[in-house]
Structure 1
C-alpha cells in the first residue's frame, strides 16, 4: 500500500514563475537566476503566502541535481538556540564549493520561522553571515519582520509576501479539485478560503482532508466547518447570550460543554471576539475592552497555557466588563 503524498507538497510550485501573486519577489529572483548575483534574503508576511515555496523553487532551479549538497533547510522554531548556529549552521556554511558553468560558487541555508530564534542566536547568526558570505547565502523566512534584529535584517534584501486574493486562491483550489476529482462547488471552495483565513497551505490541506473523509460524495459547507475545527456559529451566539446574563453558571456550563465536544478553546476565543465586535447591542468602549481581554487570552493560549482555565478567565472577564 503506497502512502498518499501530502497535497501541499504535490501542488507546491516547481518554479518561481508558478508562485502566485508575488510579482515583486518573483521578478527580482528571476533576475538573480539570470545574473547569478544572489544576496542574503529575508522573506516575511502572513502564513501560507508562498514564502517557503518560493525559495525552494528557486533553489531547485538554481542547483538542479546538486540541490541536496547545496541547500540546508532548518525550521528555526525547532532549532532556535545559539548552539544550532555554532554547530549545524556554521559547519555547513564553512564548506567551500566549486563554481561551474551551471552552478554558482555558493550554498544556501534556509531558516524557516526565523522570528522564533532567540536574540543570542540571531546575533551569532549575524557574525556567521559576515564570515562566510563568500561561500554561503542565507534566506530567512518569518511572519513578523519586527522580531528579526536590525543588524541581521539590514544584511538581507527584504521581500514582503502579500496575502493571496480570494480570486487567486479560488482558481488554484478549483484546479486542485478538478485534478483530484473532488465533488465540490464554488460555494464550498469559497467557504474553505474564508475559514482558512487566506492561508493557501491550510486551504490545500483542508481540501485533502475533505477528500479523505468524504470521498466521491458531494462536499457541503457544513462538512467544511467540521473539517476546519471551527466552532459552529450557534454555539458562539449562545455563549454571548449567556454572557449577557447576570450569573456565571451558564457560562461555565458552556465552557465545559465546549471542551467535552472537542472544540479548540483558541478557536472559540477568536470567534467570540469577532461576534462581540459586530454586536450592535454592546457599547463600543465595552466591545474594545472585551476584545482586548480575549486577545490577551488568545496570546496565552498560543504559548501553551491550559485551555480550559484560560477560556474561563476570558469568559468571566468579558462578562464582568459587559455587566459593569
Structure 2
C-alpha cells in the first residue's frame, strides 16, 4: 500500500491542480521543435519533480515511466572506485551527483560524457500502448538528464556541467532541479531556461486535500463533514506543513491513521525529527555545558543516521534557536546574539558544503552558539 503523496501524484501536465501557467508553458515547450536546457527551482514540496516527470511523459509518452535503477562505477584520480545509483528509462536519466560529495565532478564528466557521445535510439517501435502514436509524433533526437539537488554541486562539477552543455547539446538536454539558484554559477544560468515553481496557496492545497479525501472513501468519513470546519482543519495542516504540499498530504494521512475521528481542533502530528531538533535547540540555550554538548553529538548522529540532511538540520536548528531566544530573558543584547548566531550559521553552512564530515560542522555550530550565549549573559 503506497502513501497518498505517491498514490495520487499527478502523471500528466493536465492533471496538475495549480500553477496552470507553468503547465501550459511546459506543454508548449514539449511540442516546440527547440527544447532548451531547464533550471527548475522553488521551495521543497512545491511540485518541481512532479512537473518534471509530467513533462517527460509529455515528451516521450508512458515509456518515460518505465524506470530501472543501475549502479555505475567510477574511478577517481587516486584509483579509488565509487559506486553511484542512476535511475533511468529508455529516454532519460535521473541522477543526484551531490550524493558523491566532492567527487561529484567525476560523475558529471564521465556519466554525461557517455550519454552525450551516444546518439539517441528510437525506441518507439518497441513500445506498445495506447499512446504509441503520441510517442512517435513527439520523438526527440536527444536524451534528457535530470539532475537533482543541483544547488549542492561543487564549483568544479558546475564548470564541468557547463562544458557538457556546450559540447553535447545535440544529443543531450539537462533539467536541473534545485531549491535555490543562489549557488548556481552564472554560465549555467545563462544557458538554461529558468522556471520557478512556487508553493501552492492554502486554497490550492485545500483543493488537493479535498480531492484525495473524495477518492479515499473510508478516510473521508473520519474527517469533519461540515465544510467550514474542514476548511479550518486544512488551513491548520497547511500552516503546520509550512505550505509544503507533500508534507501536508503526509500529515493529512497521519491524522487519519492516528485518530478515530478528526476535527478542526485535533492536534497536528509533526515529524519526529522536527520535535527532536526543537528539544535540542531549547536545551542548548538553557544548558551550555560540556555534558550537554556530548548529548548533542549523540542526537546529531541519530538524525544523520535517519537520513536527515545536515543542511536541513542546521537550518531548522537556527530557526528554533531564534524563536527560543525570544523567551530567554537572561541576555544583555538579544538582538546582538541573534546577529552573531546568523553569522555563525552562514559560516558553518558554507563549511558543510566544503567539508566531508557533517557531524564536525554541526557540532561546531552548537559550540559556537553556546559560547555566544554565554558571553552575553547578564551577571
Shared fold (TM-score greater than 0.5)? Answer: yes
CA distance in 2, matches of 1:251, 1:188: 43
Higher alpha-carbon deviation: 8-17 or 312-321: 312-321
**Is the counterpart of residue 76 in structure 1 residue 101 in structure 2?**
no
1:294-313: per-residue Cα shift (whole Å, max 9, x none)?
44565648943366774464
**Cα drift, residue 320 of structure 1:** 3.2
1:160 aligned residue (166, 174, 196)? 196
Who is 1:55 aligned against? 52
Who is 2:30 aligned against? 33
**Cα drift, residue 135 of structure 1:** 2.0
2:373 aligned residue (303, 310, 318)? 318
**Is the counterpart of residue 124 in structure 1 residue 164 in structure 2?**
no
Equivalent runs, 1:280-291 vs 2, <5 Å:
286-291=333-338
**Cα drift, residue 111 of structure 1:** 0.5
CA distance in 2, matches of 1:263, 1:221: 29
CA distance in 1, matches of 2:282, 2:188: 48
Note closer, same or farther for the CA distance 1:254–1:88 as it changes in structure 2 (3 Å cut): closer
Q: Secondary structure at the match of 1:201?
A: helix
**Cα drift, residue 209 of structure 1:** 3.9
1:56-112: per-residue Cα shift (whole Å, max 9, x none)?
101012101432211111123214612112222221232212575341222211101
Over the aligned positions, Cα root-mean-square deviation in angstroms equals 3.9
Structure 2: 5+ residue stretches without partners: 65-88, 123-135, 224-229, 304-312, 353-357
Who is 1:197 aligned against? 242
Who is 1:207 aligned against? 252
1:274 aligned residue (313, 320, 323)? 323
**Cα drift, residue 227 of structure 1:** 5.3
Q: Secondary structure at the match of 1:46?
A: coil
Higher alpha-carbon deviation: 17-26 or 303-312: 303-312
Note closer, same or farther for the CA distance 1:123–1:256 as it changes in structure 2 (3 Å cut): closer
CA distance in 2, matches of 1:5, 1:102: 31
Higher alpha-carbon deviation: 62-71 or 39-48: 62-71
Structure 1: 5+ residue stretches without partners: none
**Cα drift, residue 141 of structure 1:** 1.0
**Cα drift, residue 173 of structure 1:** 2.4
Note closer, same or farther for the CA distance 1:151–1:60 as it changes in structure 2 (3 Å cut): same
Higher alpha-carbon deviation: 54-63 or 32-41: 32-41
CA contact (8 A) 1:15 1:61 kept: yes
1:262-319: per-residue Cα shift (whole Å, max 9, x none)?
9977545422313445x69799x93433223444565648943366774464245235
Q: Secondary structure at the match of 1:169?
A: helix
| Alignment length (residue pairs) | 311
CA distance in 2, matches of 1:49, 1:193: 12
1:233-287: per-residue Cα shift (whole Å, max 9, x none)?
9x799879x85xxxx6799879969x88x9977545422313445x69799x934
TM-score, structure 2 normalization: 0.67
**Cα drift, residue 145 of structure 1:** 0.8
